[in-house]
Amino acid sequence: MDFLPDKEFHPIFDRVSRRVNLKGAGSPAEINSRLKLKIDGYKNLKKKKALLVFEISKKEARLGIRDLKKLMFRGFGRRTIDEAIARPRGKVALTLIYGRENAKDILLERSQKRIGSLRVRRRR
């Protein structure tokens, strides 16, 4: 995943963080183990008849398994940690520390403060 520019990595990270809870993951091995747990969960869903409860089809479960396996073998965990170290106040780092929803709230609050400070500057 080192070959991917940030412009392509961030949408992939967003899709994965929707499916997998990355809160508190501090190493590439831990991120990969969480991906593995999610893959195992999809396998269990495929076997059971609980698909109706979770509103997921067998095809979606199969595609989820395939996509997450690709990420595990291509160094998604290492790239995620590298990105968090490179930008400690960025979306990836905040997601690893606080979780997806809280990270979105923090980023939204920051952007609103920036916009507010721009309005003050324009009035002068």
Q: Which residues contact 39 (CB under 8 A, 6 or more apart)?
A: 64, 65, 68, 69, 72
Domain assignment of residue 41, yes or no: yes
Domain assignment of residue 1, yes or no: no
Domain assignment of residue 75, yes or no: yes
Question: In this predicted model, what pLDDT tens digit does every residue of 47-97 receive, in sequence order?
Answer: 665 545 556 677 777 777 888 888 877 888 999 999 999 999 999 999 999
- pLDDT tier, 24 (very low <50, low <70, confident <90, very high otherwise): very high
Domain assignment of residue 29, yes or no: yes
Question: 0.85 cut: is pTM over it?
Answer: no
Residue position matching structure tokens 């609980």:
50
Q: What is the extent of the structural domain holding 70?
A: 6-123
Domain assignment of residue 19, yes or no: yes
Phi, psi of 12 (to 5 degrees): -65, -45
Domain assignment of residue 45, yes or no: yes
Domain assignment of residue 39, yes or no: yes
Number of domains the chain contains: 1
Domain assignment of residue 17, yes or no: yes
